Structure 1
Amino acid sequence: MERQYETIYEAIGGAPVLRKLVEAFYPKVQAHPLLGPLFPDNIMPVMEKQYMFLTQFFGGPSLYSDQYGHPMMRARHMPFPITPERAEAWLSCMSKALEEVGLEPQLRQFVLERLKGPAHHFVNTENSN
């Protein structure tokens, strides 16, 4: 009988897998020509915030809110020119990271679908100039 999970967080393997996912994701982001320039050289604080946010977003402990308050992610991303192309590039990097950490295809697709809405919600400009 297939195990039923209460949250995406549990389904993907909790904290250890989420940590690996963030560690696999950010090198791809930094190397991407559309995304890399948006991020600071010291990516560690960004990675930690992403880990905390995704933990909470996927149904785990409320790490992000406990430390930083309500996520307000759209507002936090407003200073950066987020184009539709950048949203898709972000999702592509995440897709590769999900595959790299070994999530099975159906779960990878489910996680990506869950992230598509927020990724496109952050779009705030049509061109990257």
Structure 2
Amino acid sequence: MGDAVTETLWSQVGGTATFERIVSTFYRGVREDPLLAPMYPEADWEGAEWRLRTFLEQYWGGPATYSEQRGHPRLRMRHAAFPVTPAAKERWLVHMHAALDEAALPPMHDAAFRDYIERAALALVNRFE
């Protein structure tokens, strides 16, 4: 008969500040990656960071800013123009895992986040070498 648990992973790990750190660290690696960097618009790194951060925040129970400003995520459609090969997926995961390593989330949250990114990255592969 107690209260329902309403805290989300987003709020439990520190909210926007934590997601900003994860995404900033991730893009620091991506900007230097010879396979991934060319897929991003050179003049819009800030936009790319905003899109990933707000998407991840919304997915993990934070503000719905992403959908309010961009509509449904439609991840496969939005990535269709980019050659997301198995090699690109692996490079993307290297940088995202490094960002999560640096964020040092509590173990339960870290495991959930890593499980999600592994599944999401696999789902976005759209070209085979």
Q: Which TM-score band applies after superposition, normalised by the shorter structure?
A: 0.7 to 0.9
TM-score, structure 2 length as denominator? Answer: 0.87
Q: Which has the higher relative contact order, 1 or 2, with Cα contacts under 8 A spaced 6 or more apart?
A: 2
TM-score, with length taken from structure 1:
0.87
Range with bigger deviation, 75-84 or 93-102: 93-102
Q: 1:17–1:101: 8 Å Cα contact kept in structure 2?
A: yes
Q: Give the corresponding residue for 1:25.
A: 26
The structure-2 alpha-carbon separation of the partners of 1:33 and 1:104, relative to structure 1 and needing over 3 Å to count, comes to: farther
The reply to whether residue 65 of structure 1 matches residue 67 of structure 2 is: yes
Q: Deviations over 1:9-51 (max 9, x none)?
A: 1232111111111111101111122211111223111111111
Native 8 Å contact 1:91 1:112 kept in 2: no
Gaps in structure 1 of 5+ consecutive residues: none
CA contact 1:95–1:108 (8 Å) conserved in 2: no
Number of residue pairs matched by the alignment: 124
- The 2-side partners of 1:90 and 1:11 are apart by 25
Spell out the pairing of 1:26-41 with structure 2 (5 A cutoff).
Answer: 26-41=27-42
Partner SS for 1:89 = helix
Over aligned residues, Cα RMSD in angstroms? 1.6
